[in-house]
Amino acid sequence: MKTNKAIFLDRDGTINIDKEYLYKIEDFEFEPKADEALKILYDLGYILIVVTNQSGVARGYYKENDVETLHINLSKLLEKKGIIISKYYYCPHHPSKGIGKYKSDCACRKPNPGMLLKGIEEFDIDPSLSYMVGDKKSDVEAGLNAGVKSVFLGKEKDIKIDNYSNNISIFNSLYDFAISLKNKS
């Protein structure tokens, strides 16, 4: 029986300010209070897993190694604050804008659930105890497709989803979501 709980996190627009095709640590800026939110979630016992579409790789703007280097540096920043990201999954593909091997309609690109399903398997995660948090419709749909609760960061009018369900919550920020979970525990 799976007993671990996780927070799957989109990166750009959720953890950090969304700057188009971010891959350099010097361009990285946390969303307001996002680091505090990650600490709250980590302290609540959630496994933190980042799942991010990185079509900049597919388009040839930067390399997979650049994404991995950014994630290593982000982990170092967070570890100084007592926060561990257990895994970073990223999708380097794009179905129409990709170049060469990266032009692919894959199972990992959100809204497909591939990255979340890998995390669920690798970390023995109970989807019913877990969340997907992001600022785009594709994040919410990936969570629903993987069987976890989805959290949309933004305004309700900004998410247009057909099968809106009780498995979707809306918050203004990652911090607001973290405080809500903390208050429930």
> Strands 6-9 and 47-53: what pairing?
parallel
DSSP 98: -
pLDDT in tens, 117-151: 999 999 999 999 999 999 999 999 999 999 999 99
**For residue 169, with 0-12 CB atoms within 10 Å meaning exposed, 13-18 middle and 19 or more buried, which class applies?**
middle
> What amino acid positions are annotated as catalytic residues?
10, 12
Q: Which residue has the higher pLDDT, 107 or 3?
A: 107
pLDDT of residue 102: 96
Residue count of the chain: 185
The domains located in the chain, with CATH, are: 6-184 (3.40.50.1000)
pLDDT at 167: 72
Integer Cα distance of 148 and 168 in angstroms = 9
Whole-number pLDDT of residue 1: 77
Q: Mean pLDDT over all residues of the chain?
A: 94
What is residue 26's three-state secondary structure?
helix
Residue 47 C-beta-side C-alpha neighbours within 13 Å: 21
